[in-house]
Amino acid sequence: MNHNGRKTKIFLDSGDPTETRQIKEILGFLDGQTTNPTLVARNPEVQERLKRGEKFSDNEIFKFYKNVVQEVSSLIPHGSVSVEVYADADTSTEEMFLHGRGMSLWIPNAHIKYPTTKQGLLAAEMSVGEGMRVNMTLVFTQEQAAAVYAATRVAKHGDVFVSPFVGRLDDRGENGMDLVKNILQMYSHGDKHVEVLTASVRTLDHLLYAIALGSDIVSAPFAILKEWAEKGTHTPGHEYAYDKDDLVNIPYDAISLEKPWATYKIHHELTDKGIERFSADWNNLVT
C-alpha cells in the first residue's frame, strides 16, 4: 500500500478492536495489526473481569482471543493480523505448530507469531511448508533474522514477517533502530520473501525513522499513531535525522543468507525474557 508516497505499511500494535476502529478513523487507513498475550491482557474487557476477581479458563481465554482477532480482521479484511501462539521455555515445536495451525483457521488474513528460537523456527519452517503465513517475533540480532530467512525459503513474498524489537534494545542502551537498518541491508542481498516489521516501537522517532529507512512495516501503539496523525502523518525521506548519541551503535555484520538455518546463532537472552513475559501475562489470566 502507498499513502502519500510512503511504501511502509502501518500496523497498530493492540489487543483492543476499539483502538482499531479509532485509528482507522484517525488515520483514514490501517494496513494491519499485531497482537500478543500482553496486549490481550490489557484489553479493557479483560481488565474489568480481573478487577472483579474473575479469571478465565483455558477455553474461555482462547475464545476471547479468537473473538478479538476475528473482530479486528473484519475491520481490516485486506490487511494482516498477527496472532501469537502460547509459548514458554518448555513448549515444544509440535505444540507451537499445532497451536499455530489452529489459530491460522480463525481468520483468512492471519500471520502466526512464533518466537525466534530453534523450536519456533522449526515450527515456522513446517508452517510455511503448509502455506501458512508467519511472523517471527522477539528478534534481537542479525543472525536471528538470517535464520528466519533461511528457515522460510519456500514462502512467497508477504507470507513471512521478521520483527526486530527496537524498544527493548534501547532499554539496555543499544540503538535498536540500527538492527532494523542492518537487517534491511542484509536482506537486500536476498530474494525479498521476508518483510521487515519494526516492532517494540516506543516513540514517534522510532516510527518516523522506520519509514525513512524503508522498513516494510512498522507496528506502533495507539498513542504513537495518534500523535503521528496529529502531526499530519508526515512521511520522512532518507535525510531524516535520528540522533541517539546516548545509545551504543550496533555495527553491521556481513552475514550470508545461504546457510542452513540451524547453523546461525539463534539464542538471545532478550528472546528468553520476552517469552517469559508473554507467557506470564497469559498465565495470569487463567485460573
Residues known to be catalytic: 113
Among the listed residues 211, 148, 223, the one whose alpha carbon sits nearest the alpha carbon of residue 180? 211
| Cα–Cα distance for residue pair 263/256, rounded to 1 Å | 11
H or E element: which one contains 136? strand 134-139
In eight-state DSSP terms, residue 155 is S
| Three state DSSP letters for 10-57 | EEEECCCHHHHHHHHHHHCCCCEEECCHHHHHCCHHHHHHHHCCCCEC
Residue 52 backbone dihedrals phi, psi, to 5 degrees: -80, 0
DSSP-based three-state secondary structure for 268: coil
| Cα–Cα distance for residue pair 71/185, rounded to 1 Å | 36
Termini Cα distance of the chain:
42
In eight-state DSSP terms, residue 5 is T
DSSP-based three-state secondary structure for 84: strand
